[in-house]
């Protein structure tokens, strides 16, 4: 397999092959995505909660993000590598946003950046795209705005808000976004948007009618024990296995069965023990 490109993602959309995207925050996870054929690796700013224990994505700094994107980049040979621009790193002006995006590429080794927002960030998306950093847009539920939105809520359930989500997506496509994440919107709206946009849509809580799907690694693997969103499906129970591992380790240390001096330790070189004594 070769490196996934935007052109190949467009081809997948055209022929109707669902695009697979998962988050990764460290090297071993990146290796797993790579080995098993994920199309896009996303260093999501969900990093804040599931990996760093912060209360929301708005607490994550650009430097913290870069530390993780470098680790993921080292393990990501085949998947296309996208990372979230942290809250605050693209809001003060399009120039600041370009500067942050350049840091994401130069210091963070990512191939594309993802930004949350609607028409109000279209100028920023245009500037970043123009300098050659591909931008993935993100509309619908925007976790970086959880306080302004009074929580993590489904978007676009009434006609007016559905229209706002669609208009935002069209403006971002016009501004040069190469793909767009649709988070927590009704499946009929996501399907309609997918049909009326020319760029791939990647859904999370947006039903099966998108060009692809994304989920958070820790949700998929059941390693995250916060509130489970309705759209999360747990595909493996790594959390249970980890618990078993910790308990087995404690048990074996306490009962003296670990380590085994024959198979899990080292011998002195011949005769040296007597010299030592
Ligand atoms: O931060 C994240 O993990 C995301 C995806 C869930 C889309 O933005
Ligand atoms: Na995110």
Domains and CATH numbers, the chain: 6-236 (3.20.20.60), 241-276 (no CATH)
CB distance 214 to ligand 1 below 6 Å: yes
ipTM above 0.85, yes or no: yes
Give me the catalytic one of 95, 111, 130, 183: 183
Burial 10-49 (b: 16+ CB within 10 A, else e): bebbeeeeebbbbbbbbbebbbbbbeeebbbbbbbbbbbb
Q: Can you tell me which atom of ligand 1 is nearest the CA of 23?
A: 3
Output the CA–CA distances (angstroms, integers) from residue 244 to 19, 131, 204, 239, 248, in the order listed.
Answer: 34, 49, 30, 9, 6
Q: Which residue has a Cα nearest atom 1 of ligand 1? A: 44
The mean of the pLDDT values for the chain is: 97
Whether residue 82 contacts residue 111, with contact meaning beta carbons closer than 8 Å, is answered with yes
The pLDDT value recorded for residue 225 is 83
The pLDDT value recorded for residue 1 is 79
The pLDDT value recorded for residue 224 is 85
The pLDDT value recorded for residue 226 is 83
Residues whose CB falls within 8 Å of the CB of residue 29, separated by 6 or more in sequence, listed in order = 72, 75, 217
pLDDT digits (tens, 9 = 90+) for 42-73: 999 999 999 999 999 999 999 999 999 999 99
For 120, counting Cβ atoms within 10 Å of its Cβ (0-12 exposed, 13-18 middle, 19+ buried), the class is exposed
The pLDDT value recorded for residue 49 is 96
Residue 90 C-alpha from the chain's centroid:
18
CB distance 46 to ligand 1 below 6 Å: yes
pTM of the shown model: 0.96
Catalytic residue list contains 183: yes
pLDDT digits (tens, 9 = 90+) for 178-235: 999 999 999 999 999 999 999 999 999 999 999 999 999 999 999 988 889 999 999 9
Q: Which helix (H) or strand (E) holds 40?
A: strand 40-43
């Amino acid at each position: 397999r070769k490196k996934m490109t935007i052109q190949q993602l467009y081809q997948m959309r055209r022929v109707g092959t669902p695009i697979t995207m998962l988050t990764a925050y460290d090297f071993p996870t990146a290796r797993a995505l790579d080995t098993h054929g994920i199309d896009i690796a996303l260093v999501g700013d969900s990093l804040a909660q599931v990996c760093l224990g912060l209360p929301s994505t708005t607490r994550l700094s650009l430097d913290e993000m870069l530390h993780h994107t470098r680790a993921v980049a080292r393990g990501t040979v085949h998947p296309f590598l996208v990372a979230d621009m942290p809250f605050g790193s693209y809001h003060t002006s399009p120039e600041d946003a370009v500067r942050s995006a350049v840091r994401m590429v130069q210091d963070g080794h990512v191939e594309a950046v993802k930004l949350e927002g609607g028409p109000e960030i279209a100028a920023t998306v245009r500037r970043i795209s123009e300098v050659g950093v591909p931008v993935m847009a993100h509309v619908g539920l925007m976790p970086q705005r959880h306080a302004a939105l009074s929580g993590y809520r489904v978007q676009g359930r009434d006609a007016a808000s559905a229209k706002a989500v669609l208009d935002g997506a069209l403006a971002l496509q016009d501004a040069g976004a190469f793909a767009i994440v649709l988070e927590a919107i009704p499946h009929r709206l996501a399907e309609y948007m997918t049909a009326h946009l020319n760029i791939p849509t990647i859904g999370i809580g947006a039903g099966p009618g998108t060009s692809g799907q994304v989920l958070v690694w820790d949700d998929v693997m059941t390693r995250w024990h916060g509130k489970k969103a309705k759209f999360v499906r747990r595909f493996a129970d790594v959390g249970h296995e980890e618990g078993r591992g910790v308990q087995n380790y404690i048990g074996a240390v306490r009962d003296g069965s670990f380590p085994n001096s024959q198979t899990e330790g080292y011998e002195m070189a011949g005769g040296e023990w007597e010299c030592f004594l």
